Chains A and B, each alone.
Chain A
């Protein structure tokens, strides 16, 4: 099956710092990648959709200057949480979709804790 990796799996940082999370499709080319956020015991909420080589599309209520998304290649997308604050602490999950296929495959997620 399709494999998606995320790095790091865990990150703890001080308030005010920026954190970069990488999402990679390991065995397929991902024309579209998605970033989700999940709070404890809640469902996944889509933050943004990124297509390779173009600007990300953000969902309503998601600050694009806060959550910078780059999808520079067909196998890599990055999410940067800028000037992180404790309320940004969450579980961030990416998914990737191959051109012509409907199924999204998810990465293992990144747990972010901002102190």
Chain B
């Protein structure tokens, strides 16, 4: 069974528009971590944000913000005022026991100038 679901396959926006990426996860653990990673065309995965299951406080970090809701098992991620350099594949990931990551299928974001 898929532990992390990213329903959006591709999103295309014009520069300066906001982009929200959806992520729904499934776990029976009470302690877990959620991550967002970015994979630009070069291939390297870049860590963006992390949240643990006990902290539902939503924050903003620069142009990034996230909305973690345990009640709906969702961990959505928003890029504000998108830029061309934000074009990449974004992965949501869940870490349960032994720190193993389960990745979603990824959402390809294309930001057009």
Q: List the interface of chain A (C-beta within 8 A of B).
A: 1, 32, 34, 42-46, 49, 91, 93, 95, 97, 102-109, 111
Nearest CB of chain A from residue B57's CB, rounded to whole Å: 17
B residues with CB within 8 A of A: 33, 35, 37, 42-47, 50, 52, 91, 95, 98-106
Interface majority SS (helix, strand, loop, mixed), chain A: strand
**CB-CB under 8 A for A102 and B50, given A34-B100, A43-B105:** yes
Shortest beta-carbon distance from B109 to chain A in Å: 14
Which single residue of chain A is at the shortest CB-CB distance from B46? A106
Residues of chain B within 8 A (CB-CB) of A93 are 43, 45
Residues of B close to A104: CB separation below 8 A: 47, 95, 99, 101
Min distance, Cβ A93 to any Cβ of chain B, angstroms: 7
CB–CB B43/A43 < 8 A? no
16 contacts between A and B (CB under 8 A): A34-B101, A42-B105, A43-B91, A44-B103, A46-B100, A46-B102, A49-B98, A93-B45, A95-B101, A102-B99, A103-B47, A104-B47, A106-B44, A107-B44, A108-B44, A109-B45
Closest to A107 in B: B44
Task: Find chain A residues with CB under 8 A from B45 CB.
Answer: 44, 93, 95, 106, 109
B residues less than 8 Å from A97 (CB atoms): 99
Which residues on the B side are within 8 Å of A108 (C-beta)? 42-44
Given A44-B103, A104-B99, A104-B101, A111 and B43 touching (CB < 8 A)?
yes
- Interface contact B95-A102, CB-CB below 8 Å: yes
Least CB distance, B34 to chain A, in whole angstroms: 10
| B44 surroundings in chain A (CB, below 8 A) | 106-109
Of the candidates B46, B50, B100, B106, the one whose C-beta lies within 8 Å of that of A43 is: B106
Tell me if B43 and A109 are in contact (CB < 8 A): yes
Q: Tell me the smallest distance from the CB of B47 to a CB of chain A, in Å.
A: 6
Nearest-CB residue, chain A, relative to B32 = A102
Cα A103 to Cα B35 with chains together (Å): 8
* Complex Cα spacing A114 to B13, Å: 37
| B103: contacting residue among A1, A43, A102, A103, CB under 8 A | A43
